[in-house]
Amino acid sequence: MINKEKVIALVEERMEELNNGLYIVELSISSTNTIHVEIDKINGGVTVTDCVSVSRNVEHNLDREEEDFELHVSSAGLDKPLRHINQYVKNIGRRIETVLKDGKKIEGELLKITDDAMLINEQVSKQIENKKKKMVFDEVREVNFSDVKESKIVISFK
């Protein structure tokens, strides 16, 4: 089986050489030596050139004669859940939908990230006392990452 630490070192080596804010979101190696590397960038998007460069560094430094492998390097997609703290930081100011471990959903603007929590500005509809109408209020909520099951960016075409 291919050594995961070696693959991580090769990916990080190329990222350091490129020096453009790339980081590893997820890296896995299956029992059949299929390597999946998912990368993202602190500012802006990952380019095809970024993926090719990382892929080539891994490909050229692993010996297929010693152990055959299949390699996939891709960017983190907008439709996938956020899995790295840098992805949260990158998306401050955007709408986010978070599902908590207890099943509750929170949707709102991502305002701030700390080491262990995020602040979300959620619009909440409340019944006004002695009135038949409901009013919409902004409510800033602090959500601990330890309570989060999954967070995704809300994609809007407005």
Domain(s) of CATH 2.30.30.100: residues in the chain: 85-153
pLDDT at 156: 82
Q: CATH fold of 85-153, please?
A: SH3 type barrels. (2.30.30)
The whole-chain average pLDDT of the chain stands at: 94
Q: Which CATH number is associated with domain 4-75?
A: 3.30.300.20
Alpha carbon distance 88, 91 (integer Å) = 5
pLDDT at 11: 98
In terms of DSSP bridges, do strands 34-41 and 70-75 run parallel, antiparallel, or are they unpaired?
parallel
pLDDT at 129: 75
Q: Decide: helix, strand or coil at residue 152.
A: strand
Does residue 143 carry a pLDDT above 80? yes
pLDDT at 132: 75
What is the pTM for the complete model shown?
0.86
pLDDT at 57: 97
DSSP string, 38-56: EEEESSS---HHHHHHHHH
